[in-house]
Amino acid sequence: MDSLMKHSSAKYQVAPAPTGGWAVRQDNGAAKFFSTQGEAVAAAQAAVRKAGGELTIQAANGHVKKRFTLGSSAMEKLNAVEGLTLSTKARQIFAKLDRAGASPDARRSAISGAFRKAKS
């Protein structure tokens, strides 16, 4: 999937492949093929989480089933609108989790563990 993670504002698409199965395409035309839609969606979500960008998932009939944006760059834009900024410690933790390809559950656990207030 690394070939699908070239730049952070990429648009990814999960769509039926012409020869059967499912394709994950990046806006530059790179593609990887999978047997099932579930496998393709999981791979595309991993790429978007790591690199950031927009993911569009099509149904078997070609209609858009779901569209969303993932990744830290999208969250930074939302936070900027709200006037929120991350501390240096939080940025370091997120960078480490991004490099490790941590799952959402692992990310939540690491963040809550790092910032949980000690019980008195």
Q: Give the span between the Cα atoms of 80 and 25, in whole angstroms.
A: 30
Q: Give the span between the Cα atoms of 8 and 26, in whole angstroms.
A: 11
Looking at residue 21, the DSSP 8-state letter turns out to be S
User: Domain residue spans in the chain?
Assistant: 2-70, 86-115
Per-residue pLDDT reduced to its tens digit, 26-83? 886 878 999 999 999 999 988 887 777 888 999 999 888 888 776 666 666 667 777 7
Q: Give the span between the Cα atoms of 59 and 65, in whole angstroms.
A: 5
pTM of the model: 0.57
- Return left, alpha or beta for 84; rule: phi > 0 is left, psi -120 to 50 is alpha, else beta: beta
